[in-house]
Amino acid sequence: MRAAGRILCRTLNLAAAAIAPGVMTRELDVLCEREIRSAGAVPTFLGYQGYPAATCISVNDEVVHGIPSDRQLREGDICKIDLGVTLDGMVADAARTWPVGRIRPETGDLLRATEEALARGVAQCRAGRRVGDVGHAIQSWVEARGFSVVRALCGHGVGRELHEEPQVPNYGRAGRGVRLEAGMTLAVEPMVNIGRHDVRILDDGWTVVTRDGLPSAHFEHTILVTDEEAEVLTANGKG
Ligand code: MF3
Ligand code: CO
């Protein structure tokens, strides 16, 4: 999973450098898939429950599971890429959100708040803490900034499969839920909306969008629980 995480991180860095007005989301998907395969790994999402691409690319009010297409990014958009990498049967899962050129200040606040919410959630991932501690840390940080956490989708265990036990909600009560143990690997993934938390699925059967049409941000890491600080397997600076 460490090795898968390194490939994943490098792939997201490559995609980040390519994001610009006029770029089609499908071009980003092709770039990512090529990078993953050239490392001898496999894009986990392709074919997962029939999903048709290597990446999920979701723009603006698209929360997650956007299907790469000929849609071109525009100045002022925010672009989310969510990516799974399988190497030798082990999975890493991560996502980031980037601004396309200059964005509205409030949207910039959303991106920073969501990335920090992820950091605060990950800081709770230690042996002896509970899943509710993670959700509570994320939710309280987000709501104190006037944003809302998506309830309909959760983080999750990850390892031999993309989605394993336990579920890791982005909301919850401190001290409640499954107890974390050293050696567990989790995908922590706050999805945060500027407006209300409600979402719906488009007719393509995949794309999750905010009901109020306002922007949403998503950051995700795969982490390893230890007795001390979690090891972030999809972070920059791990080679
Ligand atoms: N990345 C999503 C998650 O974090 C899973 C996407 S599966 C796909 O749980 F099939 F939609 F790609
Ligand atoms: Co995930």
The answer to whether residue 212 sits within a structural domain is yes
The answer to whether residue 120 sits within a structural domain is yes
Question: Relative to the CA of 83, which ligand 1 atom is closest?
Answer: 1
Is pLDDT of 16 > 80? yes
Is pLDDT of 198 > 90? yes
Helical spans, DSSP H, in 50-185: 105-123, 131-144
- pLDDT tens-digit readout, 40-81: 999 999 999 999 999 999 999 999 999 999 999 999 999 999
Is pLDDT of 217 > 90? yes
- pLDDT tens-digit readout, 78-102: 999 999 999 999 999 999 999 999 9
The answer to whether residue 238 sits within a structural domain is no
CA of 35 to the centre of ligand 1 (A): 19
- Establish whether residue 80 lines the binding site of ligand 1, counting it when its CB lies within 6 angstroms of any ligand atom: no
Residue 33, annotated as binding a ligand: no
- The CATH number of the domain holding residue 16 is 3.90.230.10
CA of 20 to the centre of ligand 2 (A): 25
Is pLDDT of 176 > 80? yes
Residue 127, SS3 per DSSP: coil
Question: Relative to the CA of 49, which ligand 1 atom is closest?
Answer: 10
Tally Cβ neighbours within 10 Å of residue 81: 25
CA of 163 to the centre of ligand 1 (A): 9
The answer to whether residue 89 sits within a structural domain is yes
Total number of domains constituting the chain: 1
The answer to whether residue 237 sits within a structural domain is no
The answer to whether residue 199 sits within a structural domain is yes
- Establish whether residue 51 lines the binding site of ligand 1, counting it when its CB lies within 6 angstroms of any ligand atom: yes
- Establish whether residue 136 lines the binding site of ligand 1, counting it when its CB lies within 6 angstroms of any ligand atom: no
Per-residue confidence (pLDDT) for residue 102, from 0 to 100 = 98
Ligand located closest to 207 CA: 1
Give the containing element (helix H, strand E) for 164: strand 164-168
Instruction: Quote the pTM value.
Output: 0.98
The answer to whether residue 82 sits within a structural domain is yes
Angle at 124 between CA 81 and CA 55, to 5 degrees: 15
Residue of 82, 204, 206 best suited for mutating to test ligand 1, as the one with most atoms within 8 Å of CB:
82
First-to-last C-alpha distance (Å) of the chain: 14
In the sheet that 199-201 helps form, which strands lie side by side, from edge to edge? 62-64, 208-210, 199-201
Residue 161, annotated as binding a ligand: no
- Percentage of the chain lying above the pLDDT 70 cut: 100
Q: 238 falls in which pLDDT band (50, 70, 90)?
A: confident
Question: Relative to the CA of 55, which ligand 1 atom is closest?
Answer: 12
- Establish whether residue 82 lines the binding site of ligand 1, counting it when its CB lies within 6 angstroms of any ligand atom: yes
CA of 97 to the centre of ligand 2 (A): 14
Please give the residue range of the domain that contains residue 178.
2-232
- pLDDT tens-digit readout, 144-171: 999 999 999 999 999 999 999 999 999 9
CA of 101 to the centre of ligand 1 (A): 26
The answer to whether residue 194 sits within a structural domain is yes
